[in-house]
Amino acid sequence: MDTASDDIRAVEFTSSREGDSPVLPDLLDQIPEGEEIGSVTADGAYDTRRCHTAIINGHATAIIPVRKNGCPWKEACPAASARNKTLRAPRHYGRAFRKRWTGYHVQSRAEAKMRCFKAFGECISARNPDRQTAGIQNRIALINRFHAIGIAHIVRLA
């Protein structure tokens, strides 16, 4: 999701038997080469070495909360130092400061966008994979268009 415009920029759908975190590198690969990725926001399910490494390889910042039972990673992984700093930050500064500092509120906007997506229906009626993909892309285009229409433009008068 593009935080400047709140548009959905990449999508990958999986079956209910698969987890979401293994497809994060594929999602990041959908972003064109010339466009920069500032940050990637996700929930604790994406707190894996593979996800953090994919985000660092995309030259982005990971805004992912550490899992409840999260332990520091060994420095062998390229993403270990950034993740270990995130793990230690609440201990030193508190959770509220860390959330404001990292822009964690963006995750709630992404979750709201998913709620809008599911309002169109959670089931995919087409059986052909190409038609399923087209149906998902149509839903996303509608959500992006509805959001663009509904944005209030505020102009200061005095």
Each residue of 30-64: pLDDT tens digit?
A: 888 888 888 887 877 888 888 888 998 888 888 88
* 98 domain residue, yes or no: yes
* 4 domain residue, yes or no: no
Domain tally for the chain? Answer: 1
**What are the φ/ψ torsions at residue 66 (nearest 5 degrees)?**
-75, 140
* 68 domain residue, yes or no: yes
Q: Using an 8 Å Cβ cutoff, are 1 and 8 in contact?
A: yes
The confidence score (pLDDT) of residue 72 equals 85
pLDDT at position 27 over 60: yes
The DSSP line for 46-91 is G-SHHHHHHHHHTT-EEE-PPPTT--PPPTTSTTHHHHHHHHHHHH
* 14 domain residue, yes or no: no
pTM of the model: 0.65
- Regarding predicted confidence, which is higher, 35 or 101? 35
